[in-house]
Every structure is written in C-alpha cells, then in structure tokens.
C-alpha cells in the first residue's frame, strides 16, 4: 500500500442500472445549482434545478438534516414521502415529470481535530471550517437522482459563493470567477456524464498554468493550496505538465479541460474527475509529486474516464498502478521495478490459501488483502500481458480501449477484447485463471528419472515461466510454457543450475524465504495474536501500537502460552524480547537493528511459518513514540527508530529458487 493512496470515486457498479435503463448520452440528468457556503458558520444554502431523464423508478435523495425551504415538481409543490437509507427521499415524482426544483439549508459538521488517513477514507460527513471544508457526494449534501438502488450519472453547472478569501471547487471546468460584495463566486460546468459532486472550499492561493493538449485544446492546470504550502505550487505544476504530456501521448487526449491539485487540512487522499484532493502534510512529502500525483492524474483516464464495472471486478487500480507507480520505478532502474514486483508477490504469498480474493471480485481497497489483490495482483497481470504480446501491441490496445470506452462502463472482458484485437490472438486461456482464481499456484523445479520437471500446484494457470540456465556458454533464459500440473524442462547441455523466475515476472505464490519478510505481512495472514512482554506501561503502549499496526483486533496471548499457529505480534522491552526469542528458539534480533535507536521492529516467521512482527523498545515511552512512524514503514523488513522517527530501515535480499542439475540428468542433445 502506498503511503498516500487515494480513494477514487467508484461509481461504475452504481450507475450500471441507469446505463442499462436509458441512453445517458440522450438523456442525462442536468443539475443546475446555486450554493452559498459560510465555513465559519458551518452552513450551506442551496437551490437546485434538476432536469430528469425519462426513465422509471426515479427518486431524489438528500441528507436527512437538510431543511427544505421549497420543493416543486414541474412547478407543483410536493411533499416528502418517506425515509430511505437514512436520507430524505422524494418519491412522489410522477412518471411524466421532467423537472424538480428545490431550495434547502444544511448544517455542516466541524472538521475533526485529529483523523488518520484510514479514518478519512471511510468518512462521508460533510464538514466545514475556515481552514477547509469538504462536502463529499456520499454525504448527500445536494439533491441527487437515484434510479432503483443506484446513483444516477449527471452533468452539472454549479455556482458557488464563498466569503472573500475562501475559494471553492467542484469537479468540472471553471467557467467564471468574480468578486462581489464580500463574496467570491465561481462557476463550474461538467459537460460529460459524471458521478457525484464533491465540494471543497478553503483559504486557497490559486496558481494556474495553461498547456496544449495533444488534440490542440488548451488545458488549465491549477494548484489550490493553503498559503502555508503555496511555495510548493510551481513544482507541482511542473510535475503535472510532464504527467499530462506522458499520458496523452501514451493513451490519448485528456478527457477534461482543467486539472487541479487541491490541498486539504486533513490527511485525506481523494481522486475525482479533473482534480485530486490531498492533505497539506501529504503534499509536503517530497516524493508525492514523483509518485502519487501521477497515479491520481492517470485516474482521469482509468476510473474517471473509463468507469470500471466493479460488479465484475475493478481493473482501474491495477492498470493505474502499472502505468503509474510501476512505470516510474522502471524509469528509475530495472532493479527498482523488480523489487516492486517481488513486493507484490510477497504480499500475495502471505495471504493463506483459501483466503485470497479473485481479481474479478475486487471492488475497492478496504484492508491489506484487497489492496494486495486490487493493486499488486492486477498490476502483475499487466506485467505478464505486456511480456506476452510485446510493447507495441500493448500500447495499441491501451489506445484502442480508450478510444472505444471513454465515458463508458467497461469490464475486464472489454479490456481483454481490446488486447486480443491488437495482439491478434485469443487471450482467453491465459487471462481466465488470472482473473477468476482465488488462490495463486506455486511453481517448483525437480529432477528425477523423468528428467527436469517444472511443477505447478492448483489452481493451474497458463504461464510462460522464465527459467535461467547457466551452461558454460553463458546464462540463457528458457521460457517454459505450463498450463497443467507439470511439464518437462530441457536445459541446454552443460547446465549446472536452473533458477526459477529470478526476476519475479510470473504471478505465483512464492516459496518460503524466496522474498525476505516485511512488517506489513502480519495483516495479510489472518487475525494476529498479540503478546506483550513488559509491565503495565508497556502494556498500554503495546495496545496502542497494535491498534495502529493491525487491520483487525488481535487475540491476546500471554507470554507463558505457546506462540500458537497464527501470525504473531510481539511487543516488549528489549531485554524481555531478547530473552523470549532465545527461550522459544527464534533467531536473535537481526544485526542491522542490534544496539541501535530506542526502538526496533523486524519481520520474521513463527515456528509454523506464519508472519511474526517483533517491536522492541528501551521503555514504554519509546514504544509509544514508535506508534507514530511504524504504521508507515510496512514495506520494510527491519526498522530502527529513535525518538519516534525512523533513522534506518531495510529489507533482506531475495532468494530465488535455484536447483542444481546433476550431470547424470538427461539433457537436451
Ligand atoms: Zn488509485
């Protein structure tokens, strides 16, 4: 999981019913709203006019706290009929009616004082304050059309007045801005059918830069930053320019006319059509503009440009991870990309058999397992696909998919069709197990009377596995095709060793120790046990630390009890930790962390080969302080912490599966 992953607005499954019911191009909902938001008073006033599509089963919903001033359907006053999902719902829309007008007031919640990224991802309250207001569409702060159980797609024009000094933004194109009588008015239009409207307001300093798109339009890039980070704006605009150039050339024209990076007072990360909303502290991190920013820009093609049909699996995170994060790693060095692939496979391999998630069941990141699958496993499919069909066909397929599916819902099957059309071959046998299997196969080499064999456990995938042979003439990579339980390998004469997939290019369950363990694996292997080694103060610090580190509430295990057969989190003072490790036959703390810092953490394995995470501190305060940084260091194998900050960290080396080939083994002539 990346430190600043964002949640893109996933609408696809939700709008599917509407798409099936009516042609959205012919009859979009057109929503015209006038808003006034006073952050200091935490009050929103609005009036809206909705032009309704002529389809059955239409409803309008708004937050139950909204105070409706007026409500008419085709000019006739209407009353609210009933409550639904906690929202106010207007059901009395006669079949022939074509417009709804409404005006309302909505009190907003205060901005939470301290919220973690995990909290803000799931929070759908509309909040307001002078340092920043955020009204997510899911808070139903405006009257939204629903069809059946689903949200409707819509186009909109939104006019927003905020006090001078504040600045408002919603997804779409900025068409007007003006100052009058103490207010700043901005008007945005969304001209293509899009999902819910998120509204952001803050004391922003706006910087704008115009660039030319590949199809000759003018694109406006903007930063809306808090004054305290305004000096970062130029750097962000430079980075944005490069990303737009890259992705327009690679995929096709950017689907909107504007793109804004908007700062948030909370540690938020959201991607929406034409903008991304990132926490001030996130934007300050030096690596964000080199990684997460590009990922968010790319979501305007994958996610907010072509909508994943999440009922059949959300492919957009995998494709975005592949074309953003993975591509940037490749730009830097092939080794960096190899480490990324190894990390994906390691995380996936930590998921116990039977507990995995098929790619066609992934919807959105909710916990460690869904992240490992939706991002890493899906990105590996694209790695293998490109290895199989070549760069040129891959890139043509990407452009074809974009040309044909823009502003439509698309599934893995649609992606497959685009790749098959450009590769000129069926990919069915290759892709079906990759997309539908819950578990991953293991691969192993053996030799015996039958010669050298490559074995694959169930579920069997159709793979081309690189096996590196080392005859005297120099290393040679054999591509071994396998689609069942085993296949014979023919090493060249003089081969002494065979190494299985040393570059981690095949989606598979790694052998034990093939990749060195990392801290976050503890969250992938089921509910962990927590063992605390220390007094009551250590106990309290450990509870807090465990809460920050673990996705799920751990089982408590007393130090006297046997270590059990699940994942294990051990937290304690250095002396007690060392004594416990020795008493239970575990390896001593790694050299790299020994005698350094006031807290150390490292990953290992329990006696039953389950992930073990050890956190050792010189005292309770050191453990308490470690809780700040440790949750962000999950991708390392070991970490040294001093005063709550990580001063060194690293990862053990990969140990690919190597098999010696006895000279007696039959070899190719
Ligand atoms: Zn993403």
CATH code for position 169: 2.60.40.1730
Q: How far is CA 17 from CA 153, 382, 426, in A?
A: 10, 29, 30
CA angle (370, 250, 291) in 5-degree steps? 45
pLDDT value of residue 4:
40
Mark whether 18 and 127 lie in a shared domain.
Answer: yes
Residue pLDDT, tens place only, 587-607: 999 999 999 999 999 999 888
Mark whether 410 and 460 lie in a shared domain.
Answer: no
Tell me the CA–centroid distance for residue 297 and ligand 1, in Å: 10
Q: Which residues surround ligand 1, an ion (CB under 5 A)?
A: 317
657: Cβ contacts below 8 Å, ≥ 6 apart: 443, 444, 445, 499, 500, 501, 511, 514
Mark whether 453 and 409 lie in a shared domain.
Answer: no
Tell me the CA–centroid distance for residue 642 and ligand 1, in Å: 32
Q: Is 60 exposed, middle or buried (0-12, 13-18, 19+ CB in 10 A)?
A: buried
Q: How many other CB atoms are there within 10 angstroms of residue 451's CB atom? A: 16
Average pLDDT value for residue range 183-204: 93
Q: What is the largest CA-CA distance in the chain?
A: 92
Tell me the CA–centroid distance for residue 659 and ligand 1, in Å: 39
Return the higher-pLDDT residue of 655 and 54. 655
Tell me the CA–centroid distance for residue 295 and ligand 1, in Å: 6
State the average pLDDT for the chain.
Answer: 88
Domain final residue, candidates 305, 334, 354: 305
In DSSP terms, which residues pair with 480 in a beta bridge?
465
Does residue 1 lie within any of the structural domains?
no
Tell me the CA–centroid distance for residue 617 and ligand 1, in Å: 35
Whether the pLDDT of residue 64 is over 60: the answer is yes
Tell me the CA–centroid distance for residue 316 and ligand 1, in Å: 7
Tell me the CA–centroid distance for residue 351 and ligand 1, in Å: 22
pLDDT value of residue 80:
64
Mark whether 619 and 630 lie in a shared domain.
Answer: yes
Q: Dump the DSSP string for 297-357.
A: HHTTTBTTTBEE-GGG---HHHHHHIIIIIHHHHHH-HHHHHHHHHHHHHHHHTSPTT---
Domain final residue, candidates 242, 277, 305: 305
Does residue 669 lie within any of the structural domains?
no
Above pLDDT 70, what percent of the chain? 90
Does residue 501 lie within any of the structural domains?
yes
CATH number at residue 355: 1.10.390.10
Tell me the CA–centroid distance for residue 178 and ligand 1, in Å: 34
Phi, psi of 465 (to 5 degrees): -105, 120
Tell me the CA–centroid distance for residue 395 and ligand 1, in Å: 20
pLDDT value of residue 517:
86
Residue pLDDT, tens place only, 160-171: 999 999 999 999
Tokens (6 digits) for 43 = 């009050």
Mark whether 209 and 245 lie in a shared domain.
Answer: yes
pLDDT value of residue 146:
76
Tell me the CA–centroid distance for residue 324 and ligand 1, in Å: 10
Confidence class for position 86, pLDDT limits 50, 70, 90: low
Tell me the CA–centroid distance for residue 334 and ligand 1, in Å: 23
Confidence class for position 16, pLDDT limits 50, 70, 90: very low
Mark whether 183 and 100 lie in a shared domain.
Answer: yes
Tell me the CA–centroid distance for residue 367 and ligand 1, in Å: 14
| Secondary structure class of 100 (helix, strand, coil) | strand
Return the higher-pLDDT residue of 8 and 572. 572
Tell me the CA–centroid distance for residue 288 and ligand 1, in Å: 13
CATH number at residue 528: 3.30.379
Residue pLDDT, tens place only, 281-323: 999 998 899 989 999 999 999 998 998 988 899 999 999 999 9
Residue pLDDT, tens place only, 419-474: 999 999 999 999 999 999 999 999 999 998 889 999 999 999 999 999 999 987 78
Of the listed ranges 351-360, 392-401, 410-419, 420-429, the one predicted with least confidence = 351-360
Tell me the CA–centroid distance for residue 46 and ligand 1, in Å: 32
Mark whether 448 and 313 lie in a shared domain.
Answer: no
Does residue 489 lie within any of the structural domains?
yes
Tokens (6 digits) for 520 = 């976050």
Mark whether 592 and 613 lie in a shared domain.
Answer: yes
Tell me the CA–centroid distance for residue 574 and ligand 1, in Å: 39
Tell me the CA–centroid distance for residue 269 and ligand 1, in Å: 10
Tokens (6 digits) for 439 = 């578990």
> Could you list the residue range(s) of the whole structural domain that residue 386 is in?
308-436
What beta strand segments (E) does 428-483 contain? 443-448, 451-456, 463-469, 476-482
Confidence class for position 117, pLDDT limits 50, 70, 90: very low
Tell me the CA–centroid distance for residue 294 and ligand 1, in Å: 10
Tell me the CA–centroid distance for residue 60 and ligand 1, in Å: 30
Tell me the CA–centroid distance for residue 302 and ligand 1, in Å: 9
Tell me the CA–centroid distance for residue 210 and ligand 1, in Å: 25
Return the higher-pLDDT residue of 438 and 635. 438
The count of domains in the chain is 4
Tell me the CA–centroid distance for residue 552 and ligand 1, in Å: 23
Mark whether 431 and 462 lie in a shared domain.
Answer: no
Mark whether 328 and 281 lie in a shared domain.
Answer: no
Tell me the CA–centroid distance for residue 275 and ligand 1, in Å: 13
pLDDT value of residue 264:
95
Tell me the CA–centroid distance for residue 146 and ligand 1, in Å: 26
Whether the pLDDT of residue 85 is over 80: the answer is no
Does residue 657 lie within any of the structural domains?
no
| pTM for the whole structure | 0.83
Tell me the CA–centroid distance for residue 321 and ligand 1, in Å: 7
Domain final residue, candidates 456, 491, 515: 515
CA angle (352, 355, 361) in 5-degree steps? 140
Tell me the CA–centroid distance for residue 305 and ligand 1, in Å: 13
Mark whether 422 and 492 lie in a shared domain.
Answer: no
Tell me the CA–centroid distance for residue 5 and ligand 1, in Å: 6
Does residue 668 lie within any of the structural domains?
no
Q: How far apart are CA 620 and CA 618, in angstroms?
A: 7
Does residue 606 lie within any of the structural domains?
yes
Tell me the CA–centroid distance for residue 517 and ligand 1, in Å: 25
Tell me the CA–centroid distance for residue 138 and ligand 1, in Å: 18
Q: How far apart are CA 332 and CA 236, in angstroms?
A: 20
Residue pLDDT, tens place only, 536-580: 999 999 999 999 999 889 999 888 887 678 899 999 999 999 999
Tokens (6 digits) for 436 = 């539908």
Tell me the CA–centroid distance for residue 444 and ligand 1, in Å: 33
pLDDT value of residue 271:
86
Above pLDDT 90, what percent of the chain? 65
Nearest to 147, CA basis, from 61, 75, 272: 61
Does residue 508 lie within any of the structural domains?
yes
Tell me the CA–centroid distance for residue 63 and ligand 1, in Å: 28
CA angle (636, 605, 457) in 5-degree steps? 100
Tell me the CA–centroid distance for residue 13 and ligand 1, in Å: 17
Tell me the CA–centroid distance for residue 341 and ligand 1, in Å: 17
Whether the pLDDT of residue 10 is over 50: the answer is no
Whether the pLDDT of residue 669 is over 70: the answer is no
Q: How far apart are CA 301 and CA 307, in angstroms?
A: 9
Tell me the CA–centroid distance for residue 172 and ligand 1, in Å: 20
**Helices then strands (H, E): number in the chain?**
16, 40
Whether the pLDDT of residue 54 is over 80: the answer is no
pLDDT value of residue 92:
61
pLDDT value of residue 150:
64
pLDDT value of residue 15:
40
Mark whether 525 and 641 lie in a shared domain.
Answer: yes
Tell me the CA–centroid distance for residue 582 and ligand 1, in Å: 43
Average pLDDT value for residue range 212-233: 97
pLDDT value of residue 17:
36
Q: Is 313 exposed, middle or buried (0-12, 13-18, 19+ CB in 10 A)?
A: buried
Tell me the CA–centroid distance for residue 412 and ligand 1, in Å: 17
Question: How big is the chain by its Cα radius of gyration, in Å?
Answer: 27
pLDDT value of residue 558:
87
Tell me the CA–centroid distance for residue 7 and ligand 1, in Å: 6
Tell me the CA–centroid distance for residue 520 and ligand 1, in Å: 19
Tell me the CA–centroid distance for residue 364 and ligand 1, in Å: 9
């Amino acid at each position: 999981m990346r430190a600043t992953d964002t949640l893109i607005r996933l609408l696809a499954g939700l709008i599917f019913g509407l798409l099936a019911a009516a042609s959205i191009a012919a009859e979009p909902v057109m929503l015209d709203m006038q808003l006034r938001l006073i952050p200091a008073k935490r009050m929103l006033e609005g009036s809206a006019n909705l032009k309704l599509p002529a389809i059955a089963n239409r409803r309008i919903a708004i937050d139950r706290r909204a105070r409706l001033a007026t409500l008419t359907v085709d000019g006739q006053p209407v009353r609210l009929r009933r409550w639904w999902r906690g929202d106010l719902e207007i059901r009395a829309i006669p079949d022939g009616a074509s417009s709804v007008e409404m005006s309302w007031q909505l009190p907003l919640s205060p901005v939470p004082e301290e919220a973690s990224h995990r909290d803000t991802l799931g929070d759908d309250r509309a909040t307001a304050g002078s340092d920043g207001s955020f009204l997510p569409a899911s808070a139903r702060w405006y009257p939204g059309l629903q069809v059946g159980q689903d949200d409707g797609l819509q186009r909109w024009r939104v006019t927003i007045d905020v006090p001078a000094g504040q600045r408002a933004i919603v997804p779409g194109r900025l068409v007007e801005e003006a100052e009058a009588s103490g207010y700043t008015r901005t008007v945005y239009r969304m001209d293509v059918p899009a999902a819910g409207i998120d509204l952001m307001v803050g004391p922003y300093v706006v910087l704008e830069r115009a660039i030319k798109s590949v199809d000759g339009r003018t694109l406006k890039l903007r930063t809306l930053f808090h004054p305290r980070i305004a000096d970062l704006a130029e750097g962000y605009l430079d980075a944005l320019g490069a990303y737009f150039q890259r992705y327009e050339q690679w995929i096709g024209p950017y689907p909107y006319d504007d793109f804004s990076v908007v700062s948030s007072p909370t540690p938020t990360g959201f991607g929406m059509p034409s903008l991304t909303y990132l926490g001030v502290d996130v934007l300050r991190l030096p690596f964000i503009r080199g990684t997460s920013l590009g990922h968010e820009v790319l979501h305007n093609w994958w996610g907010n440009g072509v909508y994943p049909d999440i009922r059949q699996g959300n492919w957009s995170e995998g494709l975005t991870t592949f074309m953003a994060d993975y591509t940037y790693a490749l730009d830097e060095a092939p080794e960096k990309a190899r480490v990324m692939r190894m990390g994906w496979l390691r995380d996936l391999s930590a998921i116990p058999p039977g507990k995995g998630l098929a790619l066609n069941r992934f919807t959105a990141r909710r916990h460690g397992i869904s992240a490992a699958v939706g991002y890493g496993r899906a990105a590996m499919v694209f790695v293998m696909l490109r290895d199989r069909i070549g760069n040129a066909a891959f890139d043509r397929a990407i452009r074809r998919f974009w040309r044909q599916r823009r502003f439509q819902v698309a599934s893995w099957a649609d992606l497959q069709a685009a790749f098959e059309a450009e590769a000129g071959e069926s990919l069915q046998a290759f892709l079906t197990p990759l997309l539908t299997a819950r578990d991953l196969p293991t691969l192993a080499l053996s030799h015996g009377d039958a010669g050298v064999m490559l074995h694959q456990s169930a579920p069997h995938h159709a793979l081309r596995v690189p096996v590196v042979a080392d005859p005297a003439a120099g290393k040679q990579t054999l591509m071994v095709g396998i689609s069942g339980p085993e296949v014979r390998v023919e090493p060249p004469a003089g081969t002494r060793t065979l190494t299985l997939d040393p570059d981690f290019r095949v989606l598979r369950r790694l052998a034990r120790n093939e990749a060195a363990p990392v801290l976050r694996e503890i969250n992938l292997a089921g509910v962990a046990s927590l063992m605390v080694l220390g007094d009551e103060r250590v106990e309290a610090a450990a509870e807090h630390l465990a809460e920050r580190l673990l996705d799920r509430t751990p089982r408590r295990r007393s130090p006297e009890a046997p270590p059990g057969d699940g994942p294990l989190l051990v937290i304690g003072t250095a002396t007690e930790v060392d004594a416990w490790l020795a008493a239970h036959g575990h390896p001593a703390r790694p050299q790299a962390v020994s005698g350094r810092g006031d807290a150390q953490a490292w990953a290992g394995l329990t006696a039953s080969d389950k992930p073990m995470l050890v956190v050792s501190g010189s005292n309770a305060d050191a453990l308490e302080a470690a809780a700040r940084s440790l949750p962000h260091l999950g991708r390392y194998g070991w970490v040294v912490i001093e005063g709550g900050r990580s001063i060194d960290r690293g990862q053990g080396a990969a140990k690919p599966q190597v098999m010696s080939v006895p000279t007696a083994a039959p070899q190719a002539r």
